[in-house]
Amino acid sequence: MSVTHSSDNSSPDSARSMAPLDLARRLIACPSVTPATGSVFDAMEGMLAPLGFDVLRTIDGDAPDGPVENLLAVRKGPEGSRHFAFAGHLDVVPPGEGWTSEAFEPEIRGDLLYGRGAVDMKGSIACMIAAMAELPTDAGTVSFIITGDEEGPARHGTVALMEHMAARGLTPDLCLVGEPTSVNRLGDMMKIGRRGSVNIFLGVDGVQGHVAYPHLADNPAPKLVRMLAELDALVLDEGTDWFQPSNLEITEIHIGNPAHNVIPTKAEARVSIRFNDLHSGESLSRMVTEVAKKHGGWSKPVISGEPFLTAPGAFSTMLSDAIRAETGIEPELSTSGGTSDARFLKNLCPVIEFGLNNATMHKRDEAVAVADLDVLARIYRRVAEAALAQ
């Protein structure tokens, strides 16, 4: 399912401040627990339309993982100019309990702006919008690839937006994802790649019976335990030049047997594997399936993404130069951490992730340093200028 409309480049927000702090507060004030809908997209459209962006909003996918609201905004440059894309998400994780102030009522206390999404990642979206407000419209083509479902199943978000881009003949030359990558201070780390991810559901079917008569039953639990022990003992690799070692983790064991004197009918588990470029989701799924079958069980793999690497080069250099110019520090090039929608966008063009300090993401009292918003907006402008001038 896809419903679309485009802006007419007029908005009552056109006279409002384009300072990154003000933009971030306006976005945070729109509750947008995944999947995000409605008001937060209205707010972003109101920010982009006055800057000359043609804003396309879509609703993609059906239940159970849809529908999902997405936004694609494009400001075209001169014919033949380069195309720089900024990608991110407006949805946030649930705020949880125990906030000092309301999660969706942005509040400045001291040097920090508090609110859900302050760093992950409404703050960086605000910085990129502020950067584009300062970028000449004839510098080149700029686009925003913004989903409402990065924190959720992510089946009808960025993937759907890429389909809309293909239908319109839009292919970026470079893409920057605004995930919060900085660790101790703004600018100390960018992500030039990520490991792949696969979750594999495992199970053994047995025959229920009385524990006093085990010969009349078939207990699946010992088989599952042996299966998991073999999987847990695996050493997948020792890492590569740019990637840490792959790891397999047991994330769930479930039998669901409420009776103490009944041999259960089935035993189930789940493992999660984060893997480097020595493997593929398919090869690891086959390996786990073989172990499962060896112990009389079954497996159902769900591959979330494959590993990718944007090799150090022109893109990472221009981002490093921008960071150094504004912060005075040299960023680390890393592939650590979890997955992001960069795993999809790498099929379009070279992609790098860079954004705010990630110390409070997904936590209560999520907060961003107000000063970092201004610095990040300047970094983003420098990167956009360099990318479009190549």
Beta bridge partners of 264: none
- Are the CB atoms for 208 and 217 separated by under 8 Å? yes
- The rounded distance, in Å, linking the Cα atoms of 227 and 221 is 10
What does the alpha-carbon distance between residue 346 and residue 339 come to, in Å, rounded to a whole number?
12
Per-residue pLDDT at 11:
42
Residue 191's DSSP bridge partners are: 334, 353
Is there a contact between 61 and 154 (Cβ–Cβ < 8 Å)? Answer: no
CB 362 within 8 A of CB 113: no
* Residue 362 annotated as part of some ligand binding site: yes
Active site residue 91: yes
Q: How far apart are CA 82 and CA 270, in angstroms?
A: 45
Q: Which among 45, 91, 268, 372 is annotated as catalytic?
A: 91
CATH of domain 196-305: 3.30.70.360
Q: Residue 195's closest CA among 18, 374, 335, 24? A: 335
For 195-247, write each residue's pLDDT tens digit: 999 999 999 999 999 999 999 999 999 999 999 999 999 999 999 999 999 99
Q: Give per-residue pLDDT as tens, 301-322.
A: 999 999 999 999 999 999 999 9
Query: Which phi and psi (to 5°) does residue 39 adopt?
Result: -60, -35
54 is in an annotated binding site: no
In this predicted structure, the answer to whether residue 6 has a pLDDT above a threshold of 80 is no
Exposed/middle/buried for residue 116 (C-beta within 10 Å: 0-12, 13-18, 19+): buried
pLDDT at 362 over 60: yes
- Asked whether residue 254 is marked as a ligand-binding residue, the answer is no
Residue 337: its pLDDT value, please? 87
Whether 150 is catalytic is yes
Provide CATH 3.40.630.10 ranges for the chain.
Answer: 2-194+307-389
Pairing mode, strands 189-191 and 332-334: parallel
Indicate where the chain has its CATH 3.30.70.360 domain(s): 196-305
Question: Cα–Cα distance between 382 and 131 in angstroms, integer?
Answer: 9
Q: Give the CATH number of domain 2-194+307-389.
A: 3.40.630.10
- Express each pLDDT in 49-77 by its tens digit: 999 999 999 999 999 999 999 999 999 99
**Cβ within 8 Å of residue 126, ≥6 positions away:** 20, 21, 23, 24, 26, 27, 373, 377
Q: How far is CA 383 from CA 134, 308, 321, in A?
A: 13, 22, 8
Structure tokens at 161: 């937006």
Beta bridge partners, 309, equal: 193
| Cα end-to-end span (Å), the chain | 38
DSSP 14: G
Q: What is the pLDDT of residue 390?
A: 81
Which H or E run contains 47?
helix 39-48
SS3 at position 232: helix
How many of the other CB atoms lie within 10 Å of CB of 20?
Answer: 29
State residue 7's pLDDT score.
54
Can you give the pLDDT at residue 2? 56
89 marked among binding-site residues: yes
Residue 29 confidence (pLDDT) above 70: yes
Average pLDDT value for residue range 385-389: 97
Per-residue model confidence as pLDDT tens digits over 131-150: 999 999 999 999 999 999 99
User: Does residue 151 have a known ligand-binding role?
Assistant: yes
Which residues, in sequence order, are CB contacts of 91 under 8 Å at separation 6+? 32, 33, 34, 35, 36, 147, 148, 149, 150, 151, 152
Please give the structure tokens belonging to residue 200: 């594999």
Asked whether 175 and 145 are in contact (CB, 8 A), the reply is yes
Residues 6+ apart with CB under 8 A from 222: none
